[in-house]
Amino acid sequence: MKKNKHYNRRGFDRNGFDFNGFDRNGFDRNGFNAEGFDYEGYDIKGFDSEGTHRNGTKFGSDGYNYKGFNRDGIHRNGSYYDNDGYNNEGYDRKGFNRNGYCYWLCPSHITNLDLEGYDPKGFDSWGIHRNGSYYDDEGFDRDGYDRNGFDRDGYDYNGYDRDGYDRNGFDCDGLERTISYSA
Residue 54 lies in a domain: yes
Residue 58 lies in a domain: yes
Determine if the pTM surpasses 0.85. Answer: no
Band (109; pLDDT cuts 50, 70, 90): very low
Q: Domain of 1?
A: 1-34
The mean pLDDT value for 115-124 works out to: 80
pLDDT for 104 equals 55
Tell whether 29 and 47 lie within a shared domain. no
d(CA 143, CA 104): 21
Specify the long-range contacts of residues 117-125, CB closer than 8 Å, at least 24 apart.
Answer: none
Q: Which residues contact 50 (CB under 8 A, 6 or more apart)?
A: none
For CA atoms 160, 162, 167, 168, give the dihedral sign: positive
